[in-house]
Amino acid sequence: MTTPVPSPAPASPNAAPAPDRTRTAMGWLHTAHFLTSAPQLEHLPALDLPEIAFVGRSNAGKSTAINTLTQQTRLAFASKTPGRTQHINLFGVGKQKVDDAVLADLPGYGYAAVPKEAKLRWQRVMGNYLMTRENLRGVVLMCDPRHGMTELDEILLEVIRPRVEQGLKFLILLTKSDKLTRSDGAKALSIMRLQAGGGEVKLFSALKKQGVEDAAELLWRWAHPKE
């Protein structure tokens, strides 16, 4: 007697094959273009589009990561003097020239050469942004795994923790992961997952393109939760 083989479960009408999701996410990010720049939170336009903020210590590879994800070379500008550029830069993202999300590039923090007064001012601006920006849907923290989580990184996590508990998406990208051995990379992932406080953690290398597609798909899902 032949045992009947069960039929596979029907696929969800919204579920695209992984390669299609990747192409969609990468193509979507490639549309990123400059919208505006502001030195203070009150100078930013009030938007009703989902916003994803990129944050991180100076020299953690934030600008490089943004340029790699958007497949552009100079969308996010890295100052020759880290920490000197202290503006929030907004980039629109959307197919067919219709924006459906915004990427926010927040200046790097923690660089020693920046005057203390400027550091404190910017920390207040960043804290206010992360706590009060109404359309903020996700935060991407860049961290160099060779140095681990800094005190300022930990403060940032504490600032956004209440919003994460309310549904704010959160991702830590361990940048420059090509400089780690396989075992060191696995160890860095394990440690950072314990510190992430409910967020996701991924190894990321702009040089080797490691983690780029995974991060792109995640950002796409954040901005399009119903698709």
5 in a structural domain: no
Q: What is the pLDDT of residue 120?
A: 73
Query: What does the DSSP 8-state code read for residue 97?
Result: G
Q: What is the pLDDT of residue 15?
A: 44
Q: CATH number for the domain including 143?
A: 3.40.50.300
Q: What is the pLDDT of residue 12?
A: 41
For 92: left if phi > 0, alpha if psi spans -120 to 50, otherwise beta; the answer is beta
75, 99, 142 from 96: Cα distances, Å: 19, 8, 30
72 in a structural domain: yes
22, 45, 132, 140, 158 from 166: Cα distances, Å: 28, 24, 13, 17, 14
Count of domains for the chain: 1
In DSSP notation, 99-158 reads --EEEEEPPPB--TTS-HHHHHHHHHHHHHHHHH-TTEEEEEEEE-TTT---HHHHHHHH
In tens digits, the chain (227 residues) has pLDDT values of: 444 544 444 444 344 446 799 999 999 999 999 999 998 888 999 999 999 999 998 888 899 999 999 999 989 876 555 554 678 999 999 999 899 999 999 988 766 566 677 667 777 788 889 999 999 999 999 999 998 888 888 888 998 999 999 999 999 999 999 999 999 999 999 999 998 877 899 999 999 999 999 999 999 999 999 88
Report how far residue 139's alpha carbon sits from residue 154's, in angstroms, rounded to the nearest whole number.
14
207 in a structural domain: yes
Structure tokens at 178: 């090509």
H or E segment to which residue 198 belongs? none
What residues contact residue 220 under an 8 Å CB cut-off, 6+ apart? Answer: 21, 24, 25, 28, 29
| SS3 assignment, position 202 | strand
Tell me which residue range forms the domain holding 94: 18-223
10 in a structural domain: no
9 in a structural domain: no
212 in a structural domain: yes
pTM: 0.87
86 in a structural domain: yes
What residues contact residue 60 under an 8 Å CB cut-off, 6+ apart? Answer: 108, 142, 143, 144, 175
192 in a structural domain: yes
How far from the centroid of its chain's Cα atoms is residue 28's Cα? 15
| SS3 assignment, position 27 | helix
